[in-house]
């Protein structure tokens, strides 16, 4: 059974600081997703990582994938209040069947 662990579960950051969210998974997969969820909303796709060493960046967010270590990271640079949300990683184990991490609730403090 595929297990996906995220840490930390909760993260309070000051504006302007950098931090990283970690996503570890237990079995081989070549496809990993990062989503953002605002309170009461659905999921917004941030990144799709398709191969070992993949790195994608959008604004203040950068995601990477190491399939050998079964690890993905979501790095936040110079955090701003608008980034406050819950972030999920999800591992594709069979053509669209995703196992989600526990989520990281990020709060940016002015």
Partner 1 sequence: SAVISQKPSRDICQRGTSLTIQCQVDSQVTMMFWYRQQPGQSLTLIATANQGSEATYESGFVIDKFPISRPNLTFSTLTVSNMSPEDSSIYLCSVRPSDTYEQYFGPGTRLTVT
The β-bridge partners of 72 are 23, 65
Asked whether position 97 contacts partner 1 by CB under 8 A, the answer is: yes
Asked whether position 51 contacts partner 1 by CB under 8 A, the answer is: no
The residue among 104, 86, 97, 101 whose CA lies nearest residue 25 is 101
Distance CA 74, CA 65 (A): 9
**Closest CB to partner 1 among 17 and 41?**
41
Distance CA 61, CA 108 (A): 14
Binding partner 1 by CB under 8 A: which of 21, 90, 91, 106? 90
Asked whether position 34 contacts partner 1 by CB under 8 A, the answer is: no
Binding partner 1 by CB under 8 A: which of 88, 91, 106, 108? 88
The residue whose two tokens read 């990271």 is: 73
Q: For residue 83, report the phi and psi dihedrals to the nearest 5 degrees.
A: -85, -5
In the complex, least distance from residue 104 CB atom to partner 1, rounded to whole angstroms: 11
Residues that bind partner 1 (CB under 8 A): 31, 33, 35, 41-43, 45, 48, 50, 88, 90, 92, 95-103
């Amino acid at each position: 059974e595929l297990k996906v662990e995220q840490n930390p579960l909760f993260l309070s950051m000051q504006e302007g600081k950098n931090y990283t969210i970690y996503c570890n998974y237990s079995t081989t997969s070549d496809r990993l997703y990062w989503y953002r969820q605002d309170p009461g909303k659905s999921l917004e796709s941030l990144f799709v990582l398709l191969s070992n060493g993949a790195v994608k960046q959008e604004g203040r967010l950068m995601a990477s994938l190491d399939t050998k270590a079964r690890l993905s990271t979501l790095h936040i640079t110079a955090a701003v209040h608008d980034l406050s949300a819950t972030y999920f990683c999800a591992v594709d184990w069979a053509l669209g069947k995703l196992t989600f991490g526990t989520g990281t609730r990020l709060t940016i403090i002015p």
